Structure 1
Amino acid sequence: MTAVGTMLAEYRRMRRLSQMELGLEAEVSARHISFIETGRTEPSREMLMRLAAVLELPQRECNLLLNAGGHPPAYSRLSLDDERLKPVSQALDVMLDNHNPYPALVMDSHWNILRANQAQEIIMGMLLPASYRTRSRLNVMELIFDPEGLRPFIQNWDELASLFLRRMHSEVMAFPTEESRALFARLLASDPPKDWQQPPTDAIEAPMITADLLVFGQQLRIFSTLSRFGTALDVNMADLLIEYYFPADETTRQFLQQLTPSHVFKHAD
């Protein structure tokens, strides 16, 4: 099998499609799909783009498939500092600023923090040791699982950590990358909840799962929402995640609204 054939077969199996089913969706014969996967034929760029669309591959995976077939990528991969993404960068700043006094941040597809608003920086400064403020990159998932990070403040940590692990497992199974596999392995090595793979069987009494925090004797409850750019064609832009945090009760709302930058250095190292 060729590189492109192996990759196509893997993506097809991830989608649980037979060669015949993929061929029907792409309006080609199952024999042609078989020939691509076994290396008996070299697919054109147009054919790979059609198959990628049927398989609903994200931009990153579509580029990988094209590259394996010896074709140029279909989607750019620009840095946020690139002049062509300046409107996107400005939009992110507006979204983050407008969410103050509630925390918000921007992450890449592997949960690395790229930007944060003032409220988020205040909260991180309160909860994390000073050593974290010198790190070039912080990862949200690693902070949640780190006993020196956010983990000690999360009272329902087992519930949240189990949910995050199940979601990450699904992502790794669907479209694995070296970085996502490595992150998932690090989290599994961080003393995860014993039965994290088992979804809760109790009746659901609340509309969402909250993070229940104990911060310097103050009980807080927050929930979050994740947003993406719906019309992104650039790989890195499509990968961006904007997470907004909201108070789940009046006590938390008042606590967040009263935060000022002077709280940043209150963490006791």
Structure 2
Amino acid sequence: MATQQPVRVGVLLREWRQRRRLSQLDLALLADTSARHLSCVETGRARPSRTMVLRLSRALDIPLRERNTLLLAADYAPAYLESSLDDKTMASIRSALDTMLTAHEPYPAVVVDRQWNVVTGNQAMAVLMDGIPRHLLRPQANVYRLALHPDGLAARLVNLREVRALFLERLLRQVNATGDPQLRALYEEVRQYPSPADTEQADAEHPPSPIQVPLRVRTPHGELSMFSTMATFGAPADVTLSELAIELFYPLDEFTTNALRALEE
């Protein structure tokens, strides 16, 4: 039986270049090389050096995990470690995450990985996690399933259709930017979730907002309105660290501010 040949590094580089919608000349200029050499690399007529693989990876803004894949395809050792958050070397990272999450209370905050799986969160996340069934928490909670599954937060979202459209657009952009098959599978899954028409309230019931699509959630404490920002670690040198993101939620109105502060007290 014939064995499958490993994917050439040139093929992978061409896929990333096309994904970034760059010509060979565009990429050559960004990576300080010649279009002729790049063409030879992509067609397999030339083997790029380790330095060139990393230079092209930086020019293409390729995630660290895939940079390691490119290096392996070119018969080089990976350049980036992939550590567990439980490793001793990651103690300072764990401490920083704990500090950020705790300092953000009484407002919700959550740490997610590349596939939007929940790594950890602060105590204030309870207001969003209230009533989430066990099957959405196992084996690992995922932000998209928690938010859009009809058994999850979707049942309490006042503006579900708006949130659903925003989430799907954001996820599709990430799929197209990374080519990650797991993200593609997640997108195909959550886009099949229903979007009940009767979950939407008229915009006239809400005052103008500087945030196009806030998160409006029905709770026993009243309707809470929030928006979120994302934070990442600067200049990561570890695959795990490069794939972590912290989503920080903030109140959009005085009622939500007071309600979240009262819940903490």
Structure-1-length-normalised TM-score: 0.86
Aligned equivalents of 2:253 and 2:135: distance in 1? 29
Structure 1 position 90 matched with structure 2 position 109:
no
CA deviations 1:168-199 (Å, max 9, x no partner) are 111111111121111111112213599xxxxx
| 8 Å Cα contact 1:2/1:38 also seen in 2 | no
Task: Return 57-66 or 160-169, whichever deviates more.
Answer: 57-66
Moved more, 16-25 or 157-166: 16-25
Q: Which of 17, 21, 32 pairs up with 1:27?
A: 32
1:106 to 1:56, Cα distance in 2 relative to 1, 3 A: same
Which deviates the most, 249-258 or 4-13?
Answer: 249-258
Structure 2: unaligned runs, 5 residues or longer: 1-5, 198-207
1:105 to 104, 107, 110: 110
User: 1:266 matched to which residue of 2?
Assistant: none
TM-score by structure 2 length?
A: 0.87
- CA positional deviation for 1:91: 0.7
* Other-structure match for 1:135: 138
Q: How does 1:64-213 map to 2 (within 5 A)?
A: 64-120=69-125, 122-129=126-133, 131-132=134-135, 135-191=138-194, 206-208=209-211, 209-213=213-217
Q: Deviations over 1:112-162 (max 9, x none)?
A: 101111111x22452323x25863410011111111100011111111111
Using a 3 Å threshold, how does the CA distance of structure 1 residues 247 and 8 change in structure 2: closer, same or farther? same
- Quick one: distance in 2 between partners of 1:133 and 1:24? 47
Flag the 1:193–1:58 CA change in 2: closer, same or farther, 3 A: farther
Structure-2 residue corresponding to 1:249:
253
CA distance in structure 1 between the partners assigned to 2:46 and 2:138 by the alignment = 49
CA offsets, 1:183-238, max 9 Å, x none? Answer: 111112213599xxxxxxxxxx5321311111137111011111001131111101
Which residue of structure 2 lines up, in the alignment, with residue 198 of structure 1? Answer: none
The match for 1:226 is 230
Q: Kindly tell me: are residues 72 and 192 of structure 1, through their superposed partners in 2, closer, same or farther at Cα, counting changes over 3 Å? A: farther
What are structure 1's unaligned runs of at least 5 residues? 195-204, 262-269
- 1:34-49 equivalence runs, <5 A: 34-49=39-54
Distance across 1 between alignment mates of 2:92 and 2:209: 38
1:8 is paired with a residue whose SS is: helix
Give yes or no for contact 1:221–1:247 (8 Å, CA) kept in 2. Answer: yes
* 2:263 pairs with one of 255, 259, 262: 259
Q: Report the 3-state secondary structure (helix = DSSP H, G, I; strand = E; otherwise coil) of the residue aligned with 1:259.
A: helix
- How far does residue 28 in structure 1 lie from its aligned partner after superposition? 2.1
User: 1:105 Cα deviation (Å)?
Assistant: 1.0
% identity of equivalent residues: 39
Change (3 A) 1:193 1:163: farther
Size of the aligned set, in residue pairs, is: 249
Runs of 4+ deviating beyond 3 Å: none
